Amino acid sequence: MRRPVTLITGANGEIGHGLIEHFSRVADVSVVALDLKPLDEGLQGKVAATVVGDILEVDLLQRLVSEYELRAIYHLAALLSTRAEYSPDTAHRVNVEGTLNLLKLAHEQAVWHGRPVLFMFPSSIAVYGLPDLETKAACARVREVDHNFPTTMYGCNKLYCEQLGRYYAQYYRQLSAEPRTSGVDFRALRFPGLISATTMPTGGTSDFAPEMIHAAAAGRPYACFVGEHARLPFMAMPDAIRALTQLAAAPVSRLRQRIYNIGAFSLSAGEIRRRVLAAFPGAEITFQPDRARAAIVDSWPADVDDTAARQDWGWKPEYDADRAFGEYLVPTISRYYAGQA
Ligand code: SER
């Protein structure tokens, strides 16, 4: 008999770390971790199995399901926004074709074992594209349906894959002689910029926040690539993991949509600097905006309207900015770098 498992793609990434730690504390979930690179040492022993490979390799995915029965997929593998601008073709392949491969796999699995396959997809504030700073200031909390005009390849990829997921969940093979559900239970969260105390993102555009905090804690100077007034919504990693698992656990009958904004707090780069200086008074943080990356940040909303998530499945962040810095980021990062010294 094939073993029922939860598949996590992009397992070595920031969300993967948090999710694997979470599932290692939940007795009844066996995780298979898939990543291009061998799983980070600290995570080995916390998963049932690791597969090293590429989501674009269909043979690899077929080998995987010859051994395991997929009950849930957390499809985290992606090239983030800055990285994707340097290699848009590769980004499209990984972010779109990779997602399509996994949606197909989820459908095949659901047909094979006769149960729905939960498909959790991290989307992003990058799906929004505000035309100018006046509009950004005027619509402080953007709703899911507004300003869906991304200016990055990554944002386009995420927006399209949200729609592909919705299509698979609701309309796949709608004209076949015997139309029936695809069995793919697709659910997506539009994450704000995520900040983890224990890992660093690679290739994102909201990275100036985690980079600033980690550099200060490590005693390194930091030149911020956006100006001090650049403002984005952010979220502490424990809230991001809680949001994913909470949406995953919500009864499908409660979900009036499949794609949800979630918010926590909104800060400008200057406000982040002030908070970092309060915690690490000697930190050297300057502003040296990079025109193109700053323009991407300017096109993303200052904050999001997450009313639907709050109403449908009870979303409520546990970390506002004070608690995120005071109880999570500063103490955990300080301990981490003290241990490295
Ligand atoms: N944090 C991501 C990025 O900056 C946005 O989802 O690319």
What are 35's strand-pairing partners? 52
Token match 């504030």: residue? 125
How far apart CA 339 and CA 65 sit, in angstroms, is 41
Q: Is 299 in the pocket of ligand 1 (CB under 6 A)?
A: no
From 154, 168, 172, 260, active-site residue? 154
Residue 1 has pLDDT above 80, yes or no: no
> How far, in Å, is the centroid of ligand 1 from the Cα of 176?
38
pLDDT at 177: 84
Mutate to test the pocket of ligand 1, among 206, 261, 262, 298 (most ligand atoms within 8 A of CB): 206
Residue 341 has pLDDT above 80, yes or no: no
Domain 78-340 = CATH 3.40.50.720:
yes
pLDDT at 62: 96
Atom of ligand 1 nearest to the CA of 83: 7
Domain boundaries, the chain: 78-340
Mutate to test the pocket of ligand 1, among 83, 152, 154 (most ligand atoms within 8 A of CB): 154
pLDDT band, residue 27 (cuts 50/70/90): confident
Residue 338 has pLDDT above 90, yes or no: no
The answer to whether residue 154 is catalytic is yes
DSSP states along 217-265: HHT--EEESS-TT-EEEEEEHHHHHHHHHHHHHS-GGG-S-SEEE---E
